[in-house]
C-alpha cells in the first residue's frame, strides 16, 4: 500500500513525491528546465506527445513548469533515477470527465529499461488510492508499440482508435485509446507499490 501521508489535494497541484524501487517522481521546478528541455527536445520523444512543439526550447520548458505543470486539473511529475532526471509523467483531468488521463515520456537513452512501466504503475496506484475514480484513460500513437505495450502490461484495455492532433507533427495522427477500470486494477495488481510522502 502507498503510505498514508497527508498531502495537498491533487487538484491544487502536486505536492507528493512517489518513490518506486528505482525511481523518484516529484514536482518539476524551474531548476529542472534544462533537463526537461533535453528530454523533450529530442524529436523521437516530441512526436509522441500531443501538446509539445518541435523544436522544444528552454522557454517552452519554463512555460511548462510555470504555467502548465501543476495548475488546474493536471499534475506533472519529473521522474528521476539516482537524482538524475530521465523522464516526465502526468495525470490530467483536462478532458472534462471524471477520469484522469495518464501520460509519460522518457529520454531516449532510458527506453527499453522498464522505467515507463514502473512510473505508470506508481501513478495508477496513486490515482486509484487517492481519488474516487472508476477508471483511468491513456493513449499511444499507433506507430508507438512500446508505449502500447506499457499500457497493456499495466492492465489497460484497448477501446479503439481516434485521430488526435500533435503539435510536433503539425498534423493529426491515429492514436490507440485505452482504459483501465478500477476493478481490473484491483484484480491484477501484483506489482510493488510506490511509497508516497509529502514533498
Within-domain flag for 178 = no
Q: What pLDDT tens digit does each residue of the chain (199 aa) get?
A: 233 222 333 334 447 899 999 999 999 999 999 999 999 999 999 999 999 999 999 999 999 998 766 565 678 999 999 999 999 999 998 766 789 999 999 999 999 999 999 999 999 999 999 999 999 999 999 999 999 999 999 999 999 999 999 999 999 999 999 999 999 999 888 766 777 776 5
Within-domain flag for 39 = yes
Within-domain flag for 50 = yes
| SS3 label, residue 67 | helix
Within-domain flag for 144 = no
Within-domain flag for 157 = no
Within-domain flag for 3 = no
**Which cell goes with 91?**
495525470
Within-domain flag for 180 = no
**Which cell goes with 105?**
515520456
What is the domain-level CATH number for residue 46? 3.40.630.30
Within-domain flag for 111 = yes
Split into its structural domains, the chain has a count of 1
- Which range marks the domain in which residue 129 is found? 10-137+192-198
Amino acid at each position: 500500500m502507498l503510505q498514508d501521508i497527508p498531502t495537498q489535494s491533487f487538484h491544487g497541484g502536486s505536492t507528493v513525491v512517489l518513490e518506486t524501487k528505482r525511481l523518484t517522481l516529484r514536482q518539476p521546478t524551474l531548476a529542472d528546465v534544462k533537463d526537461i528541455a533535453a528530454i523533450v527536445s529530442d524529436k523521437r520523444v516530441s512526436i509522441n506527445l500531443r501538446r509539445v512543439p518541435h523544436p522544444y526550447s528552454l522557454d517552452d520548458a519554463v512555460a511548462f513548469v510555470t504555467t502548465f505543470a501543476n495548475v488546474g486539473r493536471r499534475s506533472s511529475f519529473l521522474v528521476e533515477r539516482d537524482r538524475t532526471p530521465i523522464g516526465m509523467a502526468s495525470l490530467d483531468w483536462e478532458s472534462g470527465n471524471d477520469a484522469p488521463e495518464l501520460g509519460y515520456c522518457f529520454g531516449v537513452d532510458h527506453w527499453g529499461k522498464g522505467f515507463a512501466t514502473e512510473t505508470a504503475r506508481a501513478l495508477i496506484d496513486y490515482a486509484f488510492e487517492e481519488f474516487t475514480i472508476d477508471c483511468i484513460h491513456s493513449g499511444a500513437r499507433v506507430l508507438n508499440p512500446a508505449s502500447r505495450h506499457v499500457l497493456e502490461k499495466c492492465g489497460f484495455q484497448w477501446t479503439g482508435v481516434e485521430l488526435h492532433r500533435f503539435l510536433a507533427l503539425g498534423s493529426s495522427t491515429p492514436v490507440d485509446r485505452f482504459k483501465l477500470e478500477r476493478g481490473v486494477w484491483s484484480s491484477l495488481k501484483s506489482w510493488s507499490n510506490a511509497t508516497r510522502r509529502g514533498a
